[in-house]
Amino acid sequence: MRIFAKARAKLNLTLSVKGRRLDGYHEISSLVAFAGVSDGLCLQPARELSLTVSGASAEAAGQGEDNLVLVAARHFSAQYPQAQLGQFHLFKQLPVAAGVGGGSADAAAALRLLAQANGMKPDCGPMLALAALIGADVPVCLASRARHMAGIGEQLGPPMVMPQFYVVLVNPGVKLETRAVFSAMGLAPGQSSFACAEPPIRDGMDAAQWLAALRRSGNDMEDAAASLAPVIVSVLAVLAGARGCRLARMSGSGATCFGLFENRRDAMTAAMTIKTYHPAWWVKASLLRG
């Protein structure tokens, strides 16, 4: 039986870079939420592992051995040699190398489908450890719930209850590799940084309290990303100037930026207006999910 999972876009509502470890990895702290915009992944259990890809971002994602769906499946198979694999088809809509965890979300969706096909729990400890081997954002994408993440992505806080926000996502069509943005930040191994403040957000806070707390934080990768892709500055200005936008920020290592709105009408109007004046940009309006 064919089974299906969504791979939802991850948004870093805040992102603090604490420093760079001696092993070269960067320590971060981030408040993460997920949009309704997603890739789609289906699995047809079969003897052989395979992958086909379609959709607007199919060419950029590729369907070779380095696609994270296949990487995740190979890691799963190595840990569970007797497990059932199968034929994956990825409907790729999210932009690639864009700061919304598209590949990581695809990998997490693959793990969820393989767990389901083999009668396993997708959120168990071994599965989270497996997700961490694949990529820094894969553990948080496994459950796709709003929460804090820290370390190099392996430290996850409990799921959070957040108020309803609508979000407009904008990507100007520029690919930014996370490694290049970290490099532009210029942190040497063992060096700490002056990270942005972490917002004091807790369950039970209303939308106004969330926004006030988020405004006291930021994304430490934003300046470095803008130095590599100056169009990010323009995207943020366009979002911030949209009627009803309460907060405009870059997600992850960019170049995707987002604006938070408190009602659907303002978000939809902003998305349509931005797309009209910038037809080459990828623009989506969505409910921000906790």
pLDDT in tens, the chain (290 residues): 899 999 999 999 999 999 999 999 999 999 999 999 999 999 999 888 999 999 999 999 998 899 999 999 999 999 999 999 999 999 999 999 999 999 999 999 999 999 999 999 988 888 999 999 999 999 999 999 999 999 999 999 999 999 999 999 999 999 999 999 999 999 999 999 988 888 888 888 999 999 999 999 999 999 999 999 999 999 999 999 999 999 999 999 999 999 999 999 999 999 999 999 999 999 999 999 77
| Distance, C-alpha 215 to centroid of its chain | 20
User: 137, 220, 266, 284: which one is catalytic?
Assistant: 137
CATH at residue 129: 3.30.230.10
Residues 69 and 120 in one domain: yes
CA nearest to 16, candidates 240, 259, 196: 196
Domain of 265 in residue numbering reads as 165-289
Active site residue 220: no
End position of a domain, from candidates 109, 137, 156: 156
143: phi then psi, degrees, rounded to nearest 5: -95, -20
Active site residue 10: yes
Residues 180 and 199 in one domain: yes
Residues 94 and 177 in one domain: no
User: 10, 18, 92, 284: which one is catalytic?
Assistant: 10
Residues 175 and 141 in one domain: no
Whole-prediction pTM: 0.95
Q: How many domains does the chain have?
A: 2
